[in-house]
Structure 1
């Protein structure tokens, strides 16, 4: 009983400290509610009502509605505020170029702090500086094109496994949700290529690591969009902190086990230690730097977690939306299939090669159009260190500026009839009409996606194997599954389709 009063006082103190920080930011940013274009904002709560108590699917749609309305008014950017957190959204490539081309404003946005205990020291979330530069330089050889070619054996093998797993649904005619199958396939691919680890997630109906990531990402967005979640005492009382800790622990335990397995194999001589970084996989490069004390064990874990998450989740989502778009556009699916067969032949077991992929011009345009209409990463944030003029408007320090494909790729002033799926938007003569940053599926500038070539090749091999084996038919209207506003824009209701064997 004697401990109750001190505990209550501590909770009250935490509440006051959190609330004071919020109020200070409200006073700082509220004046910009009228200076920058955007939806009407409450003096205290800002635009909190627009997003609170909504699912991540509903948040995505609410943002899209705001963007469309702003574009119709001829605005090049909009703002919204959630209590003391201020967001600015450039709506076209020219406007976003100021932040993309900056060599100083490279820090990730404040809302990413939610993930610090998981990915905080990795190159994805690390603040720009010497540590980030050295880690990025260290990892770059992993994605050299000569190294990527060596991954094709795994790309082909794991793609065949997912085809085998899906074949029973083609035989039975049952509806199948492709999304979880692709999740397990890309996780196995990442583990084999980058980590030298055999996980065999495709042979399991579910995997705790995959489930934990899905739940943690959802928690992170709801945390950012619901201000009361940001008060530690309330977050703990609602049980969200316990869930967050559980998910982070599952993910970190999985990657630590992968690291330990590879470390043991290197130390025992089971795996020969390479001396050339060109011949090392991602994890071996990290382990060699740990051995020379360049990286601490926690540094290593954070980088592995970063690549494991980003490498499998983004590719899964991208391939999923490709299949959904092709299922709803059978004429385009047929054109892609015919081009694939013209290059690789009809034999479904033939390997996909880098030389063949280079010849797939129509398929390449289709993949770009899928990333335009359903961007894999809806938005990334930069938190300004100093005031910056963007689109002729002064944006205050501390504001979160969004690099948002979900806004730019659907801008009707850039892409006529933006909801129509048309690969010919990416014919050379059409691309030449647009700003270089009107299409940024992998961001751009100094903090662009380091693994984009890996992801694109993995995706192409998967799509080629899938289409050589199956015709994909939708089992639901196009908008029966929608993008969610999470770090990776997965489909809200999966990818329910019917598969028809081609041969």
Structure 2
């Protein structure tokens, strides 16, 4: 349905409802939420009205309308909403789940660690971790064994997170906290369901018992990190929380670090796994990438200075983030009546902004399901609305770790591609598991089974 996305609010929407399905979409959302969301955009256009159980939802898909919601005048009339309220059982009150002054407080403590000079200083640690990752893949090859790619990419991002923001190597923690994160992610998204929110977390239903066990592992891990920093302060994010001028409670520190730990490694690790998996399945793209890294690096590890000379590597990463956006859905909730594209959005309605859907919008992306890094040549990027691509969101709530994540992804992809090739284990198809993050899923488990091969042998 064609609508005027540039129309200014007139105040005359007169309760005009946006188009959408008459059925309740609860079961469709439970079965395959991304497919439902992308289908609504295709069938009903740039704004679609639907229900998930008792919740009224408006999906906003066009970049111009998203800009109105995230950076325009409507921003002040939105809050994180009921979905994020459910996430608080896991994340607490950190950057992801809070609004207003509380959010600004966490942002102000975190911001110094994400400045350009600090990120530049992090590059050697990122390069070292990428070299070690390539070595870990080589070790699997020498042992002639298939392995879980997600486990290795999570090792890399946890190791980087530890060295850059938590002040110590944390790679070994992947065996301690990885299973808890894997179990916890489905529990997080379920906490966004009003059915679960209506049940206090202390009620011993199976969901709450699993959540309690998962949180115990992560809380113990973070308690060890905090105690270590109390004994041995260093210049990192943990010490920044401990030294906050206003003085923070132990819970506030835990909540801030829990958000950074989970968001800082899980989404980037997932994105790296998708990218390496895609290279394993598209030999033509892989060979083009290998030719670039061989020419530029000549056998040495990638550094920050190399990245401008690795444009195709960045294009591969950007296309991977388009097809597999790490956070595929950003919910918001209207705190007063709004008008978007001439349609009435009532107070309390939830707004869904989905990179997964917008990254497939036919006005901006031809053949959107195809993996094509050439979409990100400078010429094609210049022709496209820059807000049609938003793997890290945009506006004041854009992911604070965007630049670190891009740096980690490019360095790791270039370093691994220079040394190793990955192959899928036959008969192990991969699909997605869209909980909080857009995570690979391979039945019956949540993994990608691959083998690694040194390039000199292939």
Q: TM-score, normalised by structure 1?
A: 0.81
In the alignment, the residues of structure 2 paired with residue 251 and residue 105 of structure 1 have an alpha-carbon distance, to the nearest angstrom, of 34
In the alignment, the residues of structure 1 paired with residue 190 and residue 86 of structure 2 have an alpha-carbon distance, to the nearest angstrom, of 11
In the alignment, the residues of structure 2 paired with residue 417 and residue 300 of structure 1 have an alpha-carbon distance, to the nearest angstrom, of 45
Superposed, 1:45-84 pairs within 5 Å as 46-52=24-30, 54=31, 58-70=32-44, 75-84=45-54
Superposed, 1:65-144 pairs within 5 Å as 65-70=39-44, 75-102=45-72, 103-127=75-99, 129-144=100-115
Q: Which residue of 2 aligns with 1:209?
A: 177
Q: Which residue of 2 aligns with 1:287?
A: 242
Superposed, 1:57-456 pairs within 5 Å as 58-70=32-44, 75-102=45-72, 103-127=75-99, 129-201=100-172, 207-225=175-193, 228-232=195-199, 236=203, 238-266=205-233, 280-289=235-244, 292-345=245-298, 347=299, 350-456=300-406
The secondary structure found in structure 2 opposite 1:166 is helix
Q: Which residue of 2 aligns with 1:276?
A: none
In the alignment, the residues of structure 2 paired with residue 48 and residue 323 of structure 1 have an alpha-carbon distance, to the nearest angstrom, of 34
In the alignment, the residues of structure 1 paired with residue 246 and residue 196 of structure 2 have an alpha-carbon distance, to the nearest angstrom, of 39
Structure 1 window deviating more from structure 2 (366-375 vs 424-433): it is 424-433
- Asked if structure 1 preserves the Cα contact closer than 8 Å seen for 2:91 and 2:258, the reply is yes
- Asked if structure 1 preserves the Cα contact closer than 8 Å seen for 2:147 and 2:450, the reply is yes
Matched, 1:40 2:7: no
1:234 Cα shift? Answer: 11
1:307 Cα shift? Answer: 0.6
1:391 Cα shift? Answer: 2.6
- Asked if structure 2 preserves the Cα contact closer than 8 Å seen for 1:442 and 1:452, the reply is yes
1:418 Cα shift? Answer: 0.5
Equivalent residue in structure 2 for 1:485, among 431, 434, 450: 434
- Asked if structure 1 preserves the Cα contact closer than 8 Å seen for 2:238 and 2:257, the reply is yes
In the alignment, the residues of structure 2 paired with residue 234 and residue 154 of structure 1 have an alpha-carbon distance, to the nearest angstrom, of 39
Cα deviation code 1:358-390 (max 9, x no counterpart): 221111111111111111111111111122222
Quickly say closer, same or farther: Cα 1:333–1:132, change in 2 above 3 A.
same
Matched, 1:462 2:412: yes
1:475 Cα shift? Answer: 3.2
In the alignment, the residues of structure 2 paired with residue 459 and residue 105 of structure 1 have an alpha-carbon distance, to the nearest angstrom, of 35
- Asked if structure 2 preserves the Cα contact closer than 8 Å seen for 1:38 and 1:78, the reply is yes
1:168 Cα shift? Answer: 3.0
In the alignment, the residues of structure 1 paired with residue 280 and residue 292 of structure 2 have an alpha-carbon distance, to the nearest angstrom, of 17
Larger radius of gyration: 1
Quickly say closer, same or farther: Cα 1:248–1:105, change in 2 above 3 A.
farther
1:149 Cα shift? Answer: 1.6
1:164 Cα shift? Answer: 2.1
In the alignment, the residues of structure 2 paired with residue 237 and residue 175 of structure 1 have an alpha-carbon distance, to the nearest angstrom, of 39
Structure 1 window deviating more from structure 2 (112-121 vs 365-374): it is 112-121
Work out the number of aligned pairs and report it: 437
In the alignment, the residues of structure 2 paired with residue 473 and residue 327 of structure 1 have an alpha-carbon distance, to the nearest angstrom, of 5
- Asked if structure 2 preserves the Cα contact closer than 8 Å seen for 1:197 and 1:258, the reply is no
In the alignment, the residues of structure 2 paired with residue 325 and residue 109 of structure 1 have an alpha-carbon distance, to the nearest angstrom, of 35
Cα deviation code 1:151-174 (max 9, x no counterpart): 122212222222222213323554
In the alignment, the residues of structure 2 paired with residue 424 and residue 232 of structure 1 have an alpha-carbon distance, to the nearest angstrom, of 49
In the alignment, the residues of structure 1 paired with residue 200 and residue 249 of structure 2 have an alpha-carbon distance, to the nearest angstrom, of 32
- Asked if structure 2 preserves the Cα contact closer than 8 Å seen for 1:118 and 1:252, the reply is no
Q: Which residue of 1 aligns with 2:8?
A: none
- Asked if structure 2 preserves the Cα contact closer than 8 Å seen for 1:326 and 1:333, the reply is yes
Quickly say closer, same or farther: Cα 1:441–1:51, change in 2 above 3 A.
closer
- Asked if structure 1 preserves the Cα contact closer than 8 Å seen for 2:122 and 2:164, the reply is yes
- Asked if structure 1 preserves the Cα contact closer than 8 Å seen for 2:138 and 2:453, the reply is no
